[in-house]
Structure formats: structure tokens, C-alpha cells
């Protein structure tokens, strides 16, 4: 039987819209803007986003502003203080599964995708 979720986070630097990226034309412009905003958030926070989480955010049109990132950081800090390892953070209309040990957002679900969703391999939940 599994002891729990094993997560091996990797620092992510979005290179979408950069040489070697896979977008072109008009989509490249908006994707580049998103990548720049996301990269700015990543540089100004202790929270990291996995490649999977970034992909989910882009495909579902989920964006976090500075205040929401601050609330996320606070929630992760509180969960860490309580000894949590893998937490579900409910942030407005989004749910984030976060590896507390690694300060890494593993996946993001938002909007209509939240209904009837089941989250597994978590040991705590935080309403931020």
C-alpha cells in the first residue's frame, strides 16, 4: 500500500513564446504576456508552480493576482506550521493541491471544474 504522494518538484521557467516555444502569431503574444506575468510571480514568491500546474492554469484561463499569491503563501505557511505535507488550498474560485514540504503547487482546478471533483492524496485543507 502506498505511503502517500511522492512529488519531485522542478523549478519551472516558462519559455512559452521564447525561441523554441511552440506558439506563433497572435496566440504567441498573449501566451508571452501570460508567461511574463507568471514568471514575475514566480520570482517574487517562495511558492513554485509545477509544469502540470502551469499547464492547467493556461488551459483553464486561471490567473492569480499579487494579493491572491500572498494569501496562497500565507495558507502554505500556516499549513507548514501545523505539520501538513500535501494540502488542498481553496482560494476564491480555485482549488490548488500544494506540496507543503516543497512549496510547490502541484495542480490547479477552477470554475466549473470544481463541481463534483474529488481530491486525493492530501492530508489537510486550507481556506485562504
Residues of 67-89 as b/e, b for ≥16 C-beta within 10 angstroms?
eebebbeebbebbeeeebbbbbb
Residue 23 has what pLDDT?
47
Q: Which residues 6+ apart lie within 8 Å of 8 measured at CB?
A: none
Q: What's the confidence (pLDDT) of residue 65?
A: 92
User: For residue 54, is pLDDT > 60?
Assistant: yes
Q: What is the dihedral of CA 52, 58, 61, 63, to 10 degrees?
A: 80
Kindly tell me if the per-residue pLDDT of 58 is higher than 70: yes
Which tops the pLDDT comparison, 46 or 57?
57
The predicted structure's pLDDT at residue 16: 46
Count the Cβ atoms, other than its own, within 10 Å of residue 57.
Answer: 21
Exposure string (b/e) for 93-107, b if CB count within 10 Å is 16 or more? ebbbbbbbebbbbbb
Let me know how many helices (H) and strands (E) the chain has, helices first: 3, 5
CA-to-CA distance for 37 and 79, rounded, in angstroms? Answer: 26
Q: What is the pLDDT of residue 28?
A: 59
Helix locations, the chain, DSSP H: 25-43, 51-60, 66-81
Q: What is the mean pLDDT of the segment spanning 15-27?
A: 49
Amino acid at each position: 500500500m502506498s505511503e502517500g504522494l511522492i512529488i519531485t518538484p522542478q523549478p519551472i521557467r516558462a519559455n512559452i513564446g521564447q525561441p523554441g516555444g511552440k506558439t506563433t502569431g497572435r496566440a504567441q503574444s498573449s501566451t508571452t504576456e501570460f508567461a511574463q506575468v507568471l514568471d514575475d510571480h514566480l520570482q517574487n514568491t517562495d511558492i513554485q508552480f509545477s509544469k502540470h500546474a502551469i499547464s492547467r492554469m493556461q488551459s483553464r484561463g486561471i490567473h492569480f493576482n499579487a494579493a491572491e499569491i500572498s494569501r496562497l503563501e500565507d495558507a502554505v505557511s500556516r499549513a507548514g506550521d501545523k505539520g501538513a505535507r500535501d494540502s488542498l488550498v481553496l482560494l476564491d474560485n480555485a482549488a490548488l493541491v500544494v506540496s507543503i514540504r516543497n512549496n510547490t503547487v502541484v495542480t490547479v482546478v477552477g470554475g466549473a471544474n470544481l463541481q463534483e471533483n474529488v481530491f486525493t492524496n492530501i492530508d489537510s485543507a486550507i481556506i485562504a
